[in-house]
Amino acid sequence: MSSCEIILTSYLSNLGSTGERISVASGYASYLLSHSYAVFATEENIKKYESRKDELKILNAQKVASYKELAATIDGQKINLKYNTMPDGRLFGSVGIKDVLIELKNIGCTEIRASDIIMDHNIRSVGNYEVIIRFDRNISATIKIFIESL
């Protein structure tokens, strides 16, 4: 299995920050390149990102500051959801990442992406649940989801 050297064009939580040079498997590199998350680490691209290094550090610092502010705002936020359920408390269907994202957008958290939401599995029954929102490697918030019967 061969690897490719690439430069990230945007922050990816499991890989690194914008402008970071990394080595990944060629298949994964293909995916990142086709979705504009990275560029090949050619001499030209390396020089381009090296010259922008200070600018990228400032942008990353601003992004981290806004993530910290957003995390502080939503940490501990409570979301109540009402669904049709079976008599034993199981939902007809389930509550997944997209449902949580819609509810977060409804309360004004428009900066959160689906990829920021971490759920071990979809919620399939009435109860109280905690969902982690991870903005950056070291910045996260926990929200509480309360699922009730209609």
The CATH superfamily assigned to 73-149 is Ribosomal protein L9, C-terminal domain (3.10.430.100)
Domain ranges of the chain: 3-51, 73-149
How far, in Å, CA of 16 to CA of 7, rounded?
A: 10
In which element (H, E) is residue 24 found?
A: strand 21-25
- Over residues 19-76, the pLDDT tens digits come to 899 999 999 999 999 999 999 999 999 999 888 888 888 888 898 899 899 999 999 9
- Topology of the domain comprising 3-51: Ribosomal Protein L9; domain 1 (3.40.5)
